[in-house]
Structure 1
Amino acid sequence: MAEESSVLVCYGTEKFLKDEYISRQMEKWVDPELRDFALIRYDLTETSLDEVLDEAETAPFLAERKLILASSALFFTGAKDTSKVEHRTDRLLAYLSAPAPYTKLILTVDAEKLDERKKLVKTFKEKKAIKPFAPLSAEELPGWLEQRAKKHGVTFERTAVERFLLFTGGQLQAMDAELAKLALYAGEGASIDVSTVEKLVVKSAEQNVFLLMEDIVRRRLDKAMDQLHELLKQKEEPIKLVMLMARQFRLILQVKDLYAQGYSQQQTATHLGSHPYPVKLAAEQGRSYHQDQLKRILTELADLDYAMKTGRVDKVLGLELLLLKLAA
């Protein structure tokens, strides 16, 4: 396996994976007792590349090696840098060809892609000094969860995996936190089932509304009403619930439109700026509706929102009537 470059640019929108990678580099490069001396952070919207590279070329104090983290490296992208800091990227290219042996330099940028027309990006790519961190696809999430569960000494029953992903929305940060809790509760060697997931995993308002939507889509009116009343018991504001429902129906419509144009799941997620997992779920829910139906539902939700805000309808009654209509 080739040795990793001591100068790297890490980009992508999957912050959890990026942060994990950087944490591993800290453990590898920096003695925990010397972290105050050997770990240096910069924000490139406030600090010039010259200052960062001066630090990289300076021998570490009281430590054998040091790690420099420089965030907001927008000059790797096509985005306009509105900061007043000047960056001489030619000096970075020179440093890349002869980096200091005692320094690990990691530049990060929260961008979906880099500008591959730039000489800077091309050179970093040739040197294999670029690491992407894209959101996992809906198909990759179960495998990631399985590997993560193995580290905690537990396994998941097949049906529990889908429930867990549904409750956490496929967000790695939430998945990691909830998995740690499940593993602690279940104990070493346990197999986690659906009932354990339903009992322990915390759902956001958005996920609760998605579950409500699932009952509506599948015409399970009794369950939909129970779910609605449970949300109201939890003091969720009816106007907020209408807004969240409208957002989900809008996503379903957008996904349906893009799939009809031949977009893949990943392309659709990128186009909409969404995580791939909600796109997958929206595509599944969209099979129950025609595009015209979805447009009518969005109009009805907008009308209900207006009626609630102007006091023309009781909020709870308005939601109940809408559910009756949608599940009919």
Structure 2
Amino acid sequence: MRGIGRRKQAGGFRKLDARTAIKEIKQGKVSPLYLCYGTEKYQIREFVDTLTNQLVEPEQREMAVVQIDLSETPVELVVEEAETLPFLVERKLVIVQSASLFTAAKEGGKVEHNVERLLSYLADPAEYSVILFIANGEKLDERKKTVKMIKTAGQVLSFMPLGASELVQWVIREAGKHKCTMGQQAAEALIANAGVQMSTLSAEVNKLCLFTGAGGEITVEAVGTLVARTTEQNVFSMVEDIANLKLDRALGTFYELLKQKEEPIKIASLIARQFRIMLQVKELGSQSYSQQQIASQLGLHPYAVKIAGEQARKFSPQQLAQTLSQLAQLDYQMKSGGIDKVLGIEMFLLKLGA
């Protein structure tokens, strides 16, 4: 019967960020409905783990945690699962992947969803179940009834890339979780070497903390010794050295990439990509776009935008455009056999450094 064992509505949507929502969950304030969306999958996984750990004891998870993928299962089965009383546990957790019913994405596959059944449940969710929807993508479709309803009945949480300074502070906090200390310079060195993916950074912090031991300090030297740079990060560093007129270091990085069997054409392409980003950041910055707005416009992480902006200050828009033109010409010459690939990049770096 409708209404039996249901939770009374809170009477409005309170917008929370993920950290506040996690704090409330740890205090026992749990919503019957959560909708997580955004591009930071690592943060979403952390939120799912926190909610699971808070709601369900490890030995009860086989009975109390249900995983459903809406690309394979109709949404009415999610509702049926949530409405079914839990067995031997106080509350069950239903984790729903691929929740495109809340986004503008077209429904894929052959699964048909009874949206009205979902809307009926969102209007009156069961108090003995928690449904966690995970939607892929960085935006919700605010026109949809499903989005409006879940905002009224539950919590909608955005998981987007952290800002540049926020990412540095997050790395420092990750070290603290492992009983290690880490300064800002070491954190920035780690990001420069490992990139901005939070899952990679977390794994590298764990490795560094094992090296230093509990109570130890992670130094810039330790990061340089233990964290290898990706090809993309090496090129990023090479462009940084060029911008700072450190030509010997830029050439040294180039020769190191050659030792690693990297293709010169790929290296030139990555250099061109970075100069293109620098030009775009410079142009958007001149139009008073914020760092976050530029990141969203270009599909980049805010930290990458911050560094590209700092690099772009060393060049005028005309210099950046001219460099991109030279790289396009170099690409053609290398691919057509008009110049030796290694020699071509060496000459480009020397000319740019001059």
TM-score normalised by the shorter chain: which range applies? over 0.9
2:177 pairs, out of 151, 154, 159, with 151
- Contact 1:152/1:180 (8 A) holds in 2: yes
Once the two structures are TM-superposed, the CA of residue 11 in structure 1 deviates from its matched residue by: 0.7
Query: Paired residue for 2:13?
Result: none
Query: Paired residue for 1:198?
Result: 224
- Contact 1:44/1:72 (8 A) holds in 2: yes
Q: What is the 5 A alignment of 1:242-257?
A: 242-257=268-283
Distance in 1 between residues matched to 2:60 and 2:245, nearest whole Å: 60
Supply the RMSD in Å over aligned alpha carbons.
Answer: 1.8
Distance in 2 between residues matched to 1:3 and 1:198, nearest whole Å: 43
Equivalent residue letter for 2:196: G
Once the two structures are TM-superposed, the CA of residue 61 in structure 1 deviates from its matched residue by: 4.8
Query: Paired residue for 1:173?
Result: 199
Structure 2 unaligned blocks of 5 or more: 1-23
Query: Paired residue for 2:61?
Result: 35
- Contact 1:30/1:38 (8 A) holds in 2: yes
Query: Paired residue for 1:269?
Result: 295
- Contact 1:14/1:134 (8 A) holds in 2: yes
Query: Paired residue for 1:6?
Result: 32
2:128 pairs, out of 97, 102, 124, with 102
Once the two structures are TM-superposed, the CA of residue 34 in structure 1 deviates from its matched residue by: 4.0
Answering whether residue 225 of structure 2 is matched by residue 236 of structure 1, we say: no
2:162 pairs, out of 136, 147, 152, with 136
Once the two structures are TM-superposed, the CA of residue 40 in structure 1 deviates from its matched residue by: 2.2
Indicate the SS of the match to 2:164.
coil
- Contact 1:77/1:113 (8 A) holds in 2: yes
Distance in 2 between residues matched to 1:206 and 1:110, nearest whole Å: 26
More displaced, 154-163 or 315-324? 154-163
Matched-pair identity in %: 48
Distance in 1 between residues matched to 2:208 and 2:233, nearest whole Å: 18
List structure 1 runs of 4+ shifted beyond 4 angstroms: 61-64
Equivalent residue letter for 2:283: D
Distance in 2 between residues matched to 1:19 and 1:271, nearest whole Å: 25
2:98 pairs, out of 69, 72, 75, with 72
- Contact 2:264/2:345 (8 A) holds in 1: yes
- Contact 2:32/2:154 (8 A) holds in 1: no
Q: What is the 5 A alignment of 1:247-326?
A: 247-326=273-352
Q: Deviations over 1:106-160 (max 9, x none)?
A: 1111221212233322232233421111110012112212221111111113322
TM-score between the two structures when normalised by the length of structure 1 = 0.94
Distance in 1 between residues matched to 2:336 and 2:63, nearest whole Å: 60
Distance in 2 between residues matched to 1:208 and 1:323, nearest whole Å: 15
Q: Deviations over 1:23-54 (max 9, x none)?
A: 12222233433434333222212221112111
More displaced, 68-77 or 32-41? 32-41
Q: Deviations over 1:264-291 (max 9, x none)?
A: 0000111111111101111111111122
- Contact 2:33/2:154 (8 A) holds in 1: no
Q: Deviations over 1:32-85 (max 9, x none)?
A: 334343332222122211121112212345655432211121221223334443
Query: Paired residue for 1:49?
Result: 75
Distance in 1 between residues matched to 2:279 and 2:64, nearest whole Å: 51
More displaced, 251-260 or 84-93? 84-93
Distance in 1 between residues matched to 2:341 and 2:67, nearest whole Å: 50
Indicate the SS of the match to 2:165.
coil
Indicate the SS of the match to 1:130.
strand
TM-score between the two structures when normalised by the length of structure 2 = 0.87
Distance in 1 between residues matched to 2:346 and 2:292, nearest whole Å: 35
- Contact 2:36/2:44 (8 A) holds in 1: yes
Q: What is the aligned residue count?
A: 328
Answering whether residue 15 of structure 2 is matched by residue 15 of structure 1, we say: no
Q: Deviations over 1:261-318 (max 9, x none)?
A: 1110000111111111101111111111122221221122122222222222111111
Structure 1 unaligned blocks of 5 or more: none
Distance in 2 between residues matched to 1:36 and 1:315, nearest whole Å: 58
Q: Deviations over 1:248-269 (max 9, x none)?
A: 1111111111111111000011
Distance in 2 between residues matched to 1:123 and 1:96, nearest whole Å: 6
